[in-house]
Structure 1
Amino acid sequence: MRDTRESRLLLVLLIAIAFALITVDIRGGEDSPVDGARQAAATVFGPVENGLAGAVDPVGNAVAAVRDSGHRHDRVSELERENAALKARLGSDDRTRSQLRQFDKMLKTAGTGRYGIKGAQVIAIGAAQGFSWTVTIDAGTKDGIRRDMTVLNGDGLVGRVTTVGPDTATVLLANDPDFSVGTRMEKTDELGFASGSGDRPMRVQLLNGKARVKKGDRLVTFGSEADKPFVPGVPVGTVVRVDPSGGDLTRTVYVQPFVSFTKLDVIGVVVQPPRTDPRDAVLPAAPKPTPTPTVTVTVTPNAPQGQNQQNQQNQPDENGAGANQPGDGAQQPQDGAQPPGNVQQPQGDAAQQPQQ
C-alpha cells in the first residue's frame, strides 16, 4: 500500500474505531455489546490458534531445551573440572607424602654414612638409549654434579653418574650388565666384584674361593681410589644363593639388591665422600632370628603295666641281691656245671640221699 493521505486517514479511522470498541467493551462489562462478536471470532479463529500453537510449541520447547541443555552442560563440565582438580590434589598429596618419606629415609642413610649428597628426582628412563638400564635425573653441572659420582637412595646403591649436562645427568643403574662395583662382605670383610644382571640378582665373584659365605649375608661397597666412582660403605644387597666352590680360585654368589630399580623417584648424588670408611654402619638393622620352639616332655604318674613288670624283675630279692644286676660280669651256674673253687660233689653211694 502506498503511503498516501487516504491511507493515513484510513489508519487513523481504524485506530479511532478500535479505541471506541475497547471503551464500549470495558464499560459494558459482562453485558458488553461486542461480546457476541468476540465469541464468534473465538469460534472461527480458535482452531487455527490451537493448530499454530501445536506447531510452534515443539519448536519453542526444543529451543528452551537446547538453552537449558547448554546450561546443564556447562554445570556438568564445571563439576567435572572440580572433580578432576580434587583428584589431582589428592594424588599430588599422596605423591608428596611418598616423596617426603623417601627423602627422609635417604637423609638418614646419608647422615649415617657421613655422605654429602645432592638431592634429585628421576625424570626419565633410558630404555631407548641402547636398551641399557639408565635413568635421567633433574640435576647437572649447575648443581655440582660430575661424572663418576656415586648415586644412592634410602635403601642403598642406585648406580653411578655417566654423563652430565647443565641441568640433567644420566645414571647407570647397578643392575645394568655393564655395571661393576667392588664389594665387601659384612663382618668377614671378604672382597669381591659385583656385576648387574638386569631383573635378576647381581652376580658377585669373591676373590677367596674358600670364603665362608651363606644365604642372608650382606654386602656393601668397598670404595674406589679417590672415592670415584664409588664411596665406601653403601649397602649393596643380600646373598640369596651360593655356588659350590669346587676348588676354584674364586667363588660366585648371587645378591638381591636392596634397591628396587623399577620404583626409583627421589635419589641422592654423593658430592662429598665421607672422611672415614663407615664400613657396616649404613646397613639396616639385621633381622632377628626366629626363636626355636621349646619341646616340653610331660611324665605321667601311671606307667604302663608292661613297664611295671619289668621294674619288678629288676628289684632286689630278700637277701639284697639283685635278680639281674646290670654290669655284673658274673654268670649264674648252669645245671651240671662245676661250681667254682676246689669243692667237688660226692660220688658213688655217698652221693645218694638216704631214703625213708
Structure 2
Amino acid sequence: MRDTKESRLLLVLLVAIAFALITVDIRGGRNSPVDGARHAAAAAFGPVENGLSSAVDPVGNAVSAIRDSGSRHDRLAALEKENAALKAKLGSDDRNRSRLRQLDKLLKVAGEGQYGIKGAQVIAIGSAQGFSWTITIDAGADDGIKRDMTVLNGDGLVGRVTTVGPSTSTVLLANDPDFTVGTRMEAGDELGFASGQGDRPLRVELLNGKAEVKKGDRLVTFGSQADKPFVPGVPVGVVSRVDPSGGGLTRTLYVTPYVSFTKLDIVGVVVAPPKQDPRDTVLPAKPKPVPTPTVTVTVTPSADAPATDEQQ
C-alpha cells in the first residue's frame, strides 16, 4: 500500500476500532459481545496453535526439566557426596598405608643406630623466619624437643631443629644453603663438610685434597660435640660427581641425598643419642651386582666331516 493521506487515515481508524473492541470486551466480561467472535477465532486458529505448540515442545520440556531440577539436583548432590566420601576413604587408606611404611623404616633406622627418637608429622613447609627450606612438625617443647636436635626419617638425614614452640618446631632442612653438617666417608676416615644447595646435590668439601673418592661412595654424619646438633652415623647420601683434584687443600664432591625433601611426612627427632658411634651400620644395604651371564658354546660335528681314529 502506498503511503498516502487516505492510507494513514485508514490505519488510524483501524487502531481506534481495535481499542474500542478491547474496551467493550473488558467491560463485558463473560457477557462480552465479542465472545462469539473469540470462540470462532479459536476454532479457526486452534489447529495452527497446536502445530506451533508441538514444534516448540522441546523448549517446553526443557522448561519443565528446569522446574523439576530441584529434586534431581538433590539426588545428584547426594550421589556426588557419597562418591567423594568413598574417594576420601580410599585416599585415606592409601595415605595410612604409606605412613605405616614410613614409620616402619624410621623405627628400623632408629633401632640400627640406637637413636632414641620422638616421632612427628610434617604439618607445614616454610616458616616465618625466612628460611627457604624448612618444615614445621607437630612436636615441641611439651614433647621434649629442644633446639639443635637431629631430625631424620627412614631414608637418612632430614635436618636439625632451629625453633621450638610448646607443640610445634621448625626444622632447617639439610638442602638449605644455610645448612652445614660434618660428614665421614663410608669405611674410612675421610672427613668433610656438606652444605645444602636447594634442589641441587649437596656440596661436600673433603679436608683431604688428595682423598681417593669415586662416584657411588656413601657418606654419613660425623657427629658433633655432645651430639648437638648432629648425632653420628646418620646416612647423608651418595657421591654423584667428583671434581678433579687440583692440588688444593680440599676436594669438592657432589652428593645426592638419600632424603627426598619435597616428600616429607613422618620424621623422627633424636631426643637421645646413641651410646656409641654406629659407624656405617645404619647405611642401607648396597645393591647386589647383577651377575654376568655365562655363554656356553656347543659344537656339533658335521656329517661330512672325516671320522677320527676313535670314531672308526
Q: What band does the TM-score fall into relative to the shorter chain?
A: 0.7 to 0.9
Cα distance, 1:286 vs structure 2: 0.8
Distance 2:219 2:262 in 1: 21
Letter in 2 for 1:159: G
1:70-95 deviations in Å (ceiling 9; x for gaps): 22221111111111111111111111
Cα distance, 1:291 vs structure 2: 2.9
* Aligned residue pair count: 257
Are the equivalent residues in 1 in contact too, given 2:183–2:222 (CA < 8 A)?
Answer: yes
Distance 1:208 1:299 in 2: 56
Q: Secondary structure at the match of 1:159?
A: strand
Distance 1:300 1:259 in 2: 56
Letter in 2 for 1:286: K
1:106-148 deviations in Å (ceiling 9; x for gaps): 1111111111111111111117643521111111111111000
1:208-246 deviations in Å (ceiling 9; x for gaps): 111111111100001111110000100000011111222
Partner of 1:207: 207
Partner of 1:71: 71
Partner of 2:92: 92
Alignment of 1:96-115 (within 5 A): 96-115=96-115
Q: Secondary structure at the match of 1:287?
A: coil
Letter in 2 for 1:218: R
Distance 1:66 1:177 in 2: 60
Q: Secondary structure at the match of 1:82?
A: helix
* Structure whose CA Rg is larger: 1
Letter in 2 for 1:237: G
Give the percent of matched residue pairs that are identical in Structure 1 and Structure 2.
Answer: 80
Are the equivalent residues in 1 in contact too, given 2:131–2:172 (CA < 8 A)?
Answer: no
TM-score relative to the length of structure 1: 0.65
Distance 1:65 1:299 in 2: 83
Partner of 1:164: 164
Mind listing any 5+ residue stretches in structure 1 that lack a counterpart?
A: 1-42, 303-356
Q: 1:141 to 1:128 in 2, by over 3 A?
A: closer
Distance 1:296 1:63 in 2: 81
How much is the aligned-residue C-alpha RMSD, in angstroms?
Answer: 3.2
Q: Bigger shift: 271-280 or 70-79?
A: 70-79
Q: 1:300 to 1:148 in 2, by over 3 A?
A: same
Q: Is it true that 1:239 corresponds to 2:239 in the alignment?
A: yes
Q: 1:200 to 1:63 in 2, by over 3 A?
A: closer
Partner of 2:255: 255
Distance 2:115 2:223 in 1: 13
Question: Which of 1 and 2 has higher RCO (CA within 8 Å, sep 6+)?
Answer: 2
Distance 2:133 2:71 in 1: 53
Alignment of 1:309-320 (within 5 A): none
Q: 1:232 to 1:64 in 2, by over 3 A?
A: same
Distance 1:281 1:199 in 2: 28
Q: Secondary structure at the match of 1:196?
A: strand
Q: Is it true that 1:230 corresponds to 2:248 in the alignment?
A: no
Are the equivalent residues in 1 in contact too, given 2:127–2:136 (CA < 8 A)?
Answer: no
Letter in 1 for 2:125: I
Q: 1:66 to 1:248 in 2, by over 3 A?
A: closer
Distance 1:266 1:301 in 2: 67
